[in-house]
Structure 1
Amino acid sequence: MFHLNTSLKLLSPSYCLATPPPSPFPTLFINNNNNSKSKTPSYYSSSSSNNNSSSNNNNKKQRSRKGKTSYGSSRRSILKKSFNQEQVTFTAPFSNDPVVAIIGGGISGLICALFLNNRGLRSTLFDSGVHGVGGRMGTRVIEPHPLIFDHAAQFFTVNDPRFAELVHAWMEKGLVREWHGTIGDLHNGGHFLPFLPSPPRYIATHGMRSIADSLLSETHLVNVMRPCWISKVEPFNGMWHLSENGKPCGKFDAIVIAHNGKCANRLLMTSGLPSIAKQMKRLELSSIWALLAAFEDPLPLPGDTEFPFEGAFVQGVDSVSWMANNTKKLLSSQGGPHCWTFLSTAAYGRQNKVPQENIPSATTARVTAGMLEGVEAALGLSEGSLPKPFYSRLQLWGAALPTNTPRIPCIFDPFGRAGICGDWLLGSNIEAAVLSGIALADHIAEYFQSPGTEAGEFAVGLNHEFQPLEGHDIGQFPGLGSEEKVNEAQIYEHAN
């Protein structure tokens, strides 16, 4: 039973800066004056916009760079350019029917589009996914077997009443169900400690991507452009102009950055949004390898004992942090084939990181072998006794999970009319991503619907400090714990 409190507001007044501190960055004013002589704003200039000589030189440098890719830039050079930008300040009024561009179609971006739709605002969502939207809400189905794998997000828990309301609606539609399969800690050598059944765990009935695919099915104000990789955002004539490798993708009243990592940093480094770029650069991300493996028979255990779990957090193994039987989780099948998802530790991902767009075959072979050896050790099997999978696929999530957070639902620059949403702003799980998308959508709606309010009052999160983020290598699941851990906590509590 869900107990919902729909009267809660996502942003407390303490998150908003009534009188924001002056920006340390020079300001570039963008209005809708079509007679302006300057047709191309300068984004690289480190001096103020009233320095004509410097501005002209910088414009020449900008034009000379045109056509050259920045994908070879080092992290340090990206950082330098990000902090050398002029701050864009829009002075033109909003459109009568404003449109928001959302760059990134993960769960946070999708939720943001959904809640903007619910507030009567139009949006266009841009996503680079070839197979579908959803980002880390990914499910891979291999025909004709069929084989099915959740290859990123594995399950989620519910704590916040706003998220509970959504999950309740998903359950009524048959999209989500409670996962009753046993999960727990698996220690190196095969020692398994089950978690208590509370708090409940939830999974998507037909794989995680089915939630993402369904989110926008009932909206009428959301346009989806996929696959589309937005490579540039430019402020001009009171609007944001987006493009993909020089191809125009439309103009918008505001933009939302709903992805992270090096691609987001490259996009922001010449955007005219130095405060947002600064916050994005503070984010630290781990890399995780996902190994999808299908076996003809159930995985063996020492002594031919019955397999005790459907999912396990692996402890004491360098290469593996999580393993789950998708066949039992998603199909409730006792027969084969048996589809397993193995996720690496963050340390193993860091040790074996390569460009995820082009993984060398030697790396694929080495990482696959290393992770299967880790599974063997975790289960307490003798060397070489783990059966060889008849199907395997390796994927690197290069910007998988955050390791630090500002602990604020969203970031918004009202002068540049741009915001950020994502799980990393609050934590590292599906609930955090959803709450962030809701927060930013509501904040943008209030911003558009309060034209007489001082813009600075809508500044959120532009100066929040980051804190270390703790949890499992595959995310945070508040309240989960083994019986042994709970008993230890109770003994400690009574002793004190």
Structure 2
Amino acid sequence: MSGLALARVLTGAGFGVRVLDKGRGSGGRLSTRKSADGGTFDHGAQYFTARDPLFRALVEAWMAEGIAAEWHGRIGTLTRGVVGPAKAPVRYVGVPGMNAVAKALADGLDVRTGVRVERVEREGRAWRLTSETGEDLGLAEVVVAAVPAPQAVPLLAGAPELAAQAGSARLSPCWAVMARFDAPVAVALDGAFVEDSPLSWVARDTSKPGRAPGERWVLHGSPEYSAAHLEETAEAMAPKLVAAFSQALGRDVHAVEAVAHRWRFAMPSPPIEASSLYDAALGLGACGDWCAGPRVEGAFLSGVALARRIAAP
């Protein structure tokens, strides 16, 4: 989100921009994965809110195009079978999956996926980029690392002060499980912040607008539990978090499909006190939700803030 927002603003300002993404598709944690029943799971970011006028205007445009919609799911808290209320901001989701908004931002941009940048080295007044496979990715006057802070640090080596700032950011991991059930889960909630549990959040993915029918849930492990089990296998973690879901519900549930995914850098705790990082003299910067706030909106605003700094005369 952050890198795409930056690329979109700079492209609109007349800059030549190329996005290099290590993933198979753009979006990072704005991710959607297919289920065995033909449906999907939003296993990363679950929804987004829109408080800033600029982001709110973009969300309204997405809604007009059918790319996003309000999620009217019943959201609350869940503590060992006891349901409670939760704050009720307007929540939005991408349609038909969270990755729809990333695809919309990437549309028309020069994006190369499946490319992981390993080295950013000074060459004259420019930077030469090299991939992890040794491929020469060319020269750029300005390089931005729109990746989690720990991954940004080595890319910012040419600007030690920026690298140190990025190195000060702390990000918590999250184990996510995509669970499908052959019958509706009996709970009067579509999303819940889970308390006193290895889980922090659960959501009935099929309650979101534009999703295929079925009973598909996303289960997020708490930061503490995920960190304690960080190096376990996905095969081991899936049944553990389904069992934690049973405990949170106060009744046994059995998934017919359960697949785990590890987000090693999921949540800044807390973000650094800067909307973005940039050394104008060197042409090196970084942006992301670890700068401006641990939300989709924060990532977007960080990218926009850095784009404006780069474009400033």
Equivalent residue letter for 1:141: K
- 1:288-332 deviation per Cα after TM superposition (whole angstroms, max 9, x unaligned): 0000011111124xxxxxx31111110111x11111111122446
Give the match for residue 216 of structure 2.
Answer: 339
CA contact (8 A) 2:176 2:218 kept: yes
Give the match for residue 322 of structure 1.
Answer: 201
TM-superposed deviation, 1:170: 0.8
Is 1:403 the counterpart of 2:282 in the alignment?
no
The whole-number CA distance in structure 1 between the counterparts of 2:87 and 2:176 is: 26
CA contact (8 A) 2:205 2:218 kept: yes
The whole-number CA distance in structure 2 between the counterparts of 1:431 and 1:183 is: 20
Give the match for residue 417 of structure 1.
Answer: 283
Is 1:127 the counterpart of 2:21 in the alignment?
yes
Equivalent residue letter for 2:104: S
The whole-number CA distance in structure 2 between the counterparts of 1:253 and 1:434 is: 23
RMSD in angstroms over aligned alpha carbons?
1.6
CA contact (8 A) 2:178 2:258 kept: yes
Give the match for residue 162 of structure 1.
Answer: 54
CA contact (8 A) 1:182 1:195 kept: no
- 1:417-448 deviation per Cα after TM superposition (whole angstroms, max 9, x unaligned): 111110111210011001011111111011xx
SS at match of 1:292: strand
Is 1:202 the counterpart of 2:92 in the alignment?
yes
Percent identity reads 34
Q: Structure 2 regions of 5+ residues with no counterpart?
A: none
1:296 corresponds, among 176, 182, 194, to 182
- 1:338-389 deviation per Cα after TM superposition (whole angstroms, max 9, x unaligned): 11100000001110112xxxxx6xx3343223212211111111xxx322x2
The whole-number CA distance in structure 2 between the counterparts of 1:315 and 1:216 is: 37
2:127 corresponds, among 221, 228, 240, to 240
The whole-number CA distance in structure 1 between the counterparts of 2:311 and 2:275 is: 15
Is 1:139 the counterpart of 2:19 in the alignment?
no
CA contact (8 A) 1:157 1:202 kept: yes
Q: 1:313 to 1:252 in 2, by over 3 A?
A: same
TM-score w.r.t. length of structure 1: 0.61
CA contact (8 A) 1:182 1:194 kept: no
Give the match for residue 173 of structure 2.
Answer: 287
Give the match for residue 253 of structure 2.
Answer: 386
Q: Which has the higher strand share?
A: 2
The whole-number CA distance in structure 1 between the counterparts of 2:75 and 2:204 is: 10
Q: 1:255 to 1:374 in 2, by over 3 A?
A: same
How many residue pairs get aligned? The number is 312
The whole-number CA distance in structure 1 between the counterparts of 2:234 and 2:103 is: 30
TM-superposed deviation, 1:398: 0.4
Give the match for residue 113 of structure 2.
Answer: 226
The whole-number CA distance in structure 2 between the counterparts of 1:260 and 1:341 is: 22
TM-score w.r.t. length of structure 2: 0.95
TM-superposed deviation, 1:250: 1.1
Equivalent residue letter for 1:310: D
TM-superposed deviation, 1:207: 0.8
When Rg is computed on C-alpha atoms for both structures, the one with the higher figure is 1
Is 1:186 the counterpart of 2:74 in the alignment?
no
Of the two structures, which has the highest relative contact order with CA contacts closer than 8 Å and spacing of 6 or more?
2
